[in-house]
Amino acid sequence: MPEARGATLEVDNVTLAFGGLKVLRGVSFAAQAGSVTALIGPNGAGKTSMFNCISGFYRPSAGTVRLDGQDISRVKASSRAALGMARSFQNIALFRGMTVLDNIKLGRHAHLRTNLLQGLLHLGPAAREEEALRAEIERKIIDFLEIDHIRNKPVAMLSYGLQKRVELARALAMQPRILLLDEPVAGMNREETEDMARFILDVKDEWGVTILMVEHDMGLVMDISDHVAVLNFGAKIAEGRPEEVQNDPHVAEAYLGSGDPAALMRRLHAEESAA
């Protein structure tokens, strides 16, 4: 049922500075429709800043962000949801006091039509819209992400891994064509990580959504990405298929300070078995 076709995202020569600190230096890459693209790099490389540029929180001092060929650099952050852009945050940004269900419902906000007057009356249109929304969330999202046992729980009571899953659920409720995930498996145990990997692949395959993710877990990146871009100190230092990037000496250098790919491989294996 891939009703929402994935969007293509092109980042072109994006530059961002805070005062004198250059956080992004002319970065370009693309996330192809219906693929998984990973953005990796050491801490402080500028990955989250790039996400903030793409979702409209930061305004790049130069460069453009294009969605399906259309320049969206001037589009307000709150208007990008309606264009099919959804994201999750590195530090979970759920509404902690609300239930899981209300959090997910909020994801659909931009697609709902109830206005203030209809909202006050909550008759006819508003009530129908809510019922349809509820039914669809139950059928498509809650079942899919296996969170039916927690739908009425306040988010604050949930484990970290479940919260990340609820954040994915909320992003999916936005009917996205592209999904930005900032460290979707950070702090998860192995089982939770495997679940999340399965969900991400299912979202790609079944929903046809383009996925752009930032992730430090190299095992996950190598397993599920179609394309990888590497940032270091705000500049893109490599790009390509996972195995190409893995063997790139520049990448190894960025991560380890040496140019030795074998050392990187050893570290990756160590990380994988530790996770």
Partner 1 sequence: MIIGTAKETYRADEALLTTRPQQVWMAVLLAGLAVLPFTFNAYWTYLACLVLINVIAATGLNVLTGFTGLVSLGHAAFMAIGAYTVAWLERDIGTPLLLNLLAGGLLAAGIGVIVGLPSLRVKGLYLAIATIAASFILHFVFVEWTAVTGGSAGISLQPGTVFGVALVDYTQLYWLIMPICVLMVTGAANLFRNRIGRAFIAIRDRDISAEVLGIPILRYKLMSFALASFYAGVAGGLWAYFFRVVTPESFPLLTSIFLLAAVIVGGMGTILGGVIGALFMTLVPELLRFGVELLGPVIPNAGLILSPVRTIVFGALIVGFLVFEPQGLTEIVQRIRRFFRLWPFRT
Ligand X SMILES: Nc1ncnc2c1ncn2[C@@H]1O[C@H](COP(=O)(O)OP(=O)(O)OP(=O)(O)O)[C@@H](O)[C@H]1O
How far is 248 from 98, CA to CA, in rounded Å?
A: 45
Site string for Mg ion, 90-109 (x = CB under 5 A): x-------------------
Using rule CB under 6 A, residue 107 touches ligand X: no
Tell me: does residue 23 bind ligand X (CB under 6 A): yes
Taking the least distance from each CB to ligand X, the nearer of 49 and 193 is 49
Site for ligand X in 212-231 (CB under 6 A): none
Which CB, 45 or 174, lies closer to Mg ion?
45
Do residues 213 and 178 make contact, with C-beta atoms less than 8 angstroms apart? no
Residue 43, binding choice from ligand X, Mg ion, partner 1, none, Cβ under 5 to 8 Å by partner class: ligand X
Quote the distance between the C-alpha of residue 141 and its chain's center.
17
Residue 87 or 177: the one with the smaller Cβ distance to ligand X is: 87
Spatial neighbors of 253 by CB under 8 A, at least 6 apart, are: 259
Task: Return the one option of partner 1, ligand X, Mg ion, none that residue 270 interacts with (CB less than 5 to 8 A, by type).
Answer: none
- Report CA-CA distances (Å) from 181 to 15, 47, 68, 100, 115: 21, 11, 19, 19, 31
Rounded Cα distance, 222 and 243, in Å: 7
Eight-class DSSP state of 139: I
Which amino acid is it at 191?
E
Q: Which residues pair with residue 30 across a beta bridge? A: 10
What minimum distance in Å lies between the beta carbon of 112 and partner 1? Answer: 5
Amino acid symbol at 16: L
Site string (59-98) toward ligand X, x via CB under 6 A:
-------------------------------x--------
SS3 label, residue 176: coil
Q: Specify the residue, 112 or 157, whose C-beta has the smaller distance to partner 1.
A: 112
Q: Which residues bind ligand X (CB under 6 A)?
A: 18, 21, 23, 41, 43-49, 90
